[in-house]
Amino acid sequence: MLTTNLNAMNKAGYEVLILKGDGIGPEIIAQAERVMDWLELNRNIRFLRSHALIGGEAIDLEGAPISDATMQKAFAADAILFGAVGGPRWETLPFDQRPERGILRIRKELCLFGNIRLAKTYDALVNASTLKPEIVKGLDLIVLRENVGGMYFGEPRGIMKASDGSLFGLNTHIYTDEQILRVARLAFELARGRRKMVCSVDKANVMESGELWRRRVQELHDAEFSDITLVHMYADNCSMQLVRQPKQFDVILSDNLFGDMLSDQAAMLAGSLGMLPSASVGPIGPYGVRAALYEPIHGSAPDIAGKGIANPLATILSLAMMLRLSFGLTAVATLVERAVESALSSVGTPDIIRADVRRVGTVEMGDAVLSQLENLKK
């Protein structure tokens, strides 16, 4: 099961930690919070919100990309809603002190091992994709990326000096049985709620870690998920197939390195990074609560920060994922998603503007979603 029944815990509400971050983070999070306000007033949902610093803002005010106090809040929350971090101001800092280390620490310490990225093409945005409309119309897939292992976390790592005095960079691509099996199980569980197809991606032809990945995914499938169609595909072929015939996929399961690239590629099939939400989920802990962080997949976009033109829809859709996956509020999540889709029929931010709709900014797009929520509640 992916969802958690927090009502069974007799909680007064859903405890949500909000981390706005840097760049456009505060602007887009503000619009998601407006949707939360609406849901509290109109759907009898109570969000127990707390706010904390992360990224560059945390470095400036607290001396670190994320403080120990904020980490304690993260551990205590039922879910985390995150904006974005980073920007030119902090690019000259040492690697281990940069804003991005804040989100990496959360992923690691909360063991958010599975990154779920949705790639869905809305009818209103079919022509926004760089691919032909007939290739992307109706696209609805998930890239599930292993999030805390592989190349990005493996040891040893670093820039080192060889015996002859020359430098070399070293990263270790390593996966254990446990890391593979838990993310594979998540993929099969996701597929059971969709079209029951999983494509597991690796490079088993040239990497021993990929060979183990393929073996363990197949064994789990055969033992517990034989109702799911499983295919294996090399990462380079999957990249090609995403451009050639993306609608063949339902759930793509991948390691950290390949998933990082494939998920961005899949996102652009939908027309804009500003439209795609994601969830990073961890193991089920005490009281049956699964740790989870929700965020838009785009970055902090410092070039447009403060201009009021950022697209907040990926953040609002990330909130919808939270409602569905963390809180089990499927009908409410669907309502928010329908409001977003309806808003796209009349307005667009600069990244998704087209000739037949009105150009709007961040706040106006939030207005449009709230207006559609009002229409849909009738």
State how far the Cα of 286 lies from the Cα of 296, in Å rounded to an integer: 27
Count Cβ neighbours within 10 Å for each residue of 276-288 and write b for 16 or more, e otherwise.
bbbbbbbeeeeee
pLDDT band at 1 (very low <50, low <70, confident <90, very high): very low
The pTM for the full model equals 0.89
Q: What is the pLDDT of residues 188-237, one digit of tens each?
A: 999 999 999 999 999 999 999 999 999 999 999 999 999 999 999 999 99
- Asked if omega into 277 is within 30° of 0 (cis), the reply is no
More confident residue, 353 or 36: 36
347 with 248, same domain: the answer is no
19 with 67, same domain: the answer is yes
Residue partners of 200: CB distance under 8 A and separation at least 6? 184, 187, 213, 214, 217, 230, 231, 232, 233, 253, 254
Closest CA to 146 of 178, 121, 120, 109: 178
Q: Has residue 134 been placed in a domain?
A: no
> Looking at residues 152-176, what average pLDDT do you find?
95
> Looking at residues 145-151, what average pLDDT do you find?
93
Q: Has residue 124 been placed in a domain?
A: no
Given 269, 289, 310, the domain boundary residue is 269
234 with 318, same domain: the answer is no
59 with 11, same domain: the answer is yes
- DSSP for 325-362 reads IIT--HHHHHHHHHHHHHHTTTEE-GGG--TTSEE--H
Percentage with pLDDT > 90 across the chain: 83
Is the confidence at residue 173, as pLDDT, over 60? yes
Q: Looking at 28-37, 265-274, 351-360, which range is the least confident one?
A: 265-274
Give the pLDDT score at 8: 43
Question: What CATH number is associated with residue 235?
Answer: 3.40.718.10
316 with 259, same domain: the answer is no
Active site residues: 152, 203, 236, 260, 264
Q: Has residue 135 been placed in a domain?
A: no
> Looking at residues 17-23, what average pLDDT do you find?
98
Q: Has residue 377 been placed in a domain?
A: yes
Is the confidence at residue 353, as pLDDT, over 60? yes
Given 269, 287, 306, the domain boundary residue is 269
> Looking at residues 95-123, what average pLDDT do you find?
92
CB 41 within 8 A of CB 364: no
256 with 372, same domain: the answer is no
147 with 252, same domain: the answer is yes
CB 118 within 8 A of CB 276: yes
- Arithmetic mean of pLDDT over the chain: 93
Q: What is the largest CA-CA distance in the chain?
A: 74
Alpha helices in the chain (DSSP H): 25-42, 56-62, 68-76, 100-109, 133-136, 177-192, 208-224, 235-244, 256-269, 313-321, 330-343, 362-376
Percentage with pLDDT > 70 across the chain: 96
Q: Has residue 71 been placed in a domain?
A: yes
Give the pLDDT score at 95: 85
240 with 331, same domain: the answer is no
244 with 310, same domain: the answer is no
Q: Has residue 164 been placed in a domain?
A: yes
Supply the range of the domain harboring residue 233.
140-269
Q: What's the token pair of residue 17?
A: 């930690």
Is the confidence at residue 240, as pLDDT, over 90? yes
Is the confidence at residue 273, as pLDDT, over 80? no
Helix (H, G, I), strand (E, B) or coil at 18: strand
Q: What is the pLDDT of residues 287-328, one digit of tens each?
A: 677 899 999 988 899 999 999 999 999 999 999 999 999 999
CB-based burial of residue 263 (10 Å sphere; 0-12 exposed, 13-18 middle, 19+ buried)?
Answer: buried
pLDDT band at 249 (very low <50, low <70, confident <90, very high): very high
Element (H, E) at 145: strand 140-146
Q: Has residue 129 been placed in a domain?
A: no
Number of domains in the chain: 2
Q: Has residue 133 been placed in a domain?
A: no
164 with 257, same domain: the answer is yes
111 with 147, same domain: the answer is no
CB 220 within 8 A of CB 168: no
Is the confidence at residue 6, as pLDDT, over 80? no
Residue partners of 188: CB distance under 8 A and separation at least 6? 198, 220, 221, 224, 225, 228
State how far the Cα of 284 lies from the Cα of 301, in Å rounded to an integer: 33
95 with 151, same domain: the answer is no
Give the pLDDT score at 23: 97
Residue partners of 376: CB distance under 8 A and separation at least 6? 335, 338, 339, 342
Give the pLDDT score at 267: 81
Given 234, 269, 304, the domain boundary residue is 269
